[in-house]
Amino acid sequence: MSLELNVEKCMRCGACVGACPVNAIFLKEHSPAVGRGCTECGLCVNICPVGAFSLGGE
């Protein structure tokens, strides 16, 4: 699996930043970015109000 972010869907609310239990999501130039510490737990997928995050297959 891999975490994918569709920046065109993102409304930059920051909910994903607060939801990440390992602080792997951060704002970079007002858009979320996913760092190397991401464990692909899926919390950001579930919390995003516009569905900008998804867990895709390899």
User: Per-residue pLDDT tens for 5-50?
Assistant: 999 999 999 999 999 999 999 998 888 999 999 999 999 999 999 9
Exposed / middle / buried, residue 25 (Cβ in 10 Å: 0-12, 13-18, 19+):
buried
For position 57, what pLDDT does the model report? 60
Contact 7, 54 (CB under 8 A): no
For position 46, what pLDDT does the model report? 96
Domains in the chain and their CATH numbers? 2-56 (3.30.70.20)
Q: Which pTM does this prediction carry?
A: 0.83
Position 1 pLDDT exceeds 80 = no
DSSP per-residue letters across 1-58: -EEEE-TTT-----HHHHH-TT--EEEETTEEEE-TT----SHHHHH-TT--EEEE--
